[in-house]
Chains A and B, each alone.
Chain A
Amino acid sequence: MPGNGFVYATYIRTTAEKLWDALTQPEFTRAYWYGAWHECNWEAGSPWRLMIPDGRIGDSGEVLECDRPHRLVLSWRNEFKPELKAEGYSRATFELEPAGDTVKLTVTHEMDRTDSTFIEGVSNGWPSILSSLKSLLETGKALEGTSRWPAEA
């Protein structure tokens, strides 16, 4: 998907239920997602927000599919950078599949337009967020620097 989509897979030694909770529950996300957390009741059709530590709404959208602990699909629009917000809604899909002593997590983030600056941004962000999530679940400790919102953002 050149230009309009990003796919990232990682294998994490955990259970699908623990991974689901780590992806969705604030006490986990604050530790590895640069201090951010979700406001959502995790039911299809419900509104979804990603809050950033200074109190702003980082991103918002709607829960399109929610099948714990297998699959989560969100519509997703940036809210704090006008040029990104103007690109409109993207779609983020999280798929969890057991594989040996691990769970394969695949994150797909797509937008129905090419050359999206938003997709370029999340393509840089997901590998560090998901690497830190993997560290947190496997070692009990998130990666250094991923518990605080970066100063320049």
Chain B
Amino acid sequence: MADLTIEDTVYVTYIATTPEKVWAALTSSEFTRQYFFGRSVESDWKKGSPWTLQMPDGRIDVKGEVRESDPPRKLVVSWTVDWNEELRKLPEAVVSYEIEPIAEGVVRLTMTEAHPTPIPASLLEGGRRGWPMILSGLKSLLETGKPLAIPVPQPPKQD
């Protein structure tokens, strides 16, 4: 991690599953569409490859590059929000997922959204509100086979 990186948002959840299933849930659209506000991921998940997160209507929500890929233990991607001009101009964020088996049949998933340079607090709100919904949904999907039905949050106001 670069010296100037500030860890801004961390979310930890424990899931009754295997690391391989968590990896699949993070990297396959058939899973992400069910817990990531209907969005699809696309990449070959090799270090240096591009990745995208697409909205249900096909627009790009987030894009970036795969920085680290060590299935099924660690995935690090750069993260630039693409659908909004204000957000597009921000320095890219870095999102890391660490997947650790910690007990028989239990996996700890740690998501860290870090920012290479500090960004305004108001722009962190979306992630701080969104990650608990997304990762609660991922846990439910893996443990029960059924996604959560949480109303999709409205995007932050553009002034």
Contact = CB atoms under 8 A, between A and B. Distances in A.
Interface residues of B, number: 24
A1 to B, nearest CB: 12
Contact of A132 (B14, B137, B144, B149): B14
Where chain B touches its partner, the secondary structure class is mixed
A135 interface: yes
A141 B16 contact: yes
Contacts of B137: 11
A133 B14 CA distance: 11
A143 interface: yes
A55 interface: no
B136 A12 contact: yes
Interface of A: 8-13, 99-102, 104, 127-128, 131-132, 134-135, 138-139, 141, 143-145
Interface of B: 12-16, 102-106, 108, 132-133, 136-137, 139-140, 143-144, 146, 148-151
Q: Across chains A and B, which 10 residue pairs bring their CB atoms closest together, nearest first? A: A131-B14, A11-B136, A145-B103, A9-B132, A127-B12, A101-B149, A100-B150, A100-B149, A144-B103, A144-B104
